[in-house]
């Protein structure tokens, strides 16, 4: 399974990699630009998105999310790449709910699952 994981927290990235490296083809990215480039380069079975990315941690300002996971959700909604499943793993409930709304309104199936270091295997 080909998985794209967006998160800027290196401990979460490490835990996700460790839990999935032997069973899946993983690409881990840390920024909106890296995520969009990866989405443009191919199809994905699953993508897992965080909302709060540096330097905009915990900012919930409407229209001010160009470097958050919301920018990736909006890009997906506008460009409709080939994605089978979307997980929103953000701990930010406002950001995660808004990302899910944008994706579902665009016709994508997604689930919200807060990241858990002990249970991060796909």
Write the secondary structure of 25-76 as one string of H (helix), E (strand) and C (coil): EEEEECCHHHHHHHHHCCCEEEEEECCCCCCCCCCCCCCCCCCCHHHHHHHH
Dump pLDDT digits (tens) for 60-69: 555 556 778 9
Instruction: Report how far residue 84's alpha carbon sits from residue 43's, in angstroms, rounded to the nearest whole number.
Output: 9
Band (pLDDT 50/70/90 cuts) for residue 118 is confident
**Residue from 9, 7, 19 nearest 120 by CA:** 19
pTM: predicted TM-score of the whole model, two decimal places: 0.89
> Does domain 2-112 fall into CATH 3.30.365.10?
no
* Most distant CA atoms of the chain, gap in Å: 39
Q: Rg for the chain (alpha carbons), in Å? A: 13
* pLDDT tens for each residue of 5-57: 999 999 999 999 999 988 989 999 999 999 999 999 888 999 999 998 876 55
DSSP structure class, residue 68 = S
SS3 25: strand
Q: Where are the beta strands (DSSP E) in 1-122?
A: 2-6, 25-29, 44-49, 83-88, 110-112
Burial of 75: CB neighbours in 10 Å, binned 0-12, 13-18, 19+:
middle
pLDDT tier, 82 (very low <50, low <70, confident <90, very high otherwise): confident
């Amino acid at each position: 399974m080909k998985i794209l994981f967006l998160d800027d927290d290196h401990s979460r990235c490490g835990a996700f990699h460790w839990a999935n490296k032997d069973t899946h083809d993983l690409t881990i990215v840390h920024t909106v630009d890296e995520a969009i480039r990866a989405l443009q380069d191919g199809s994905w079975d699953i993508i897992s998105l965080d909302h709060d990315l540096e330097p905009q941690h915990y900012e919930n300002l409407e229209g001010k999310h160009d470097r958050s996971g919301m920018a990736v959700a909006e890009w997906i909604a506008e460009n409709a790449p080939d994605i089978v499943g979307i997980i929103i793993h953000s701990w930010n409930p406002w950001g995660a709910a808004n990302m899910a709304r944008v994706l579902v309104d665009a016709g994508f199936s997604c689930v919200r699952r807060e990241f858990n270091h002990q249970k991060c295997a796909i």
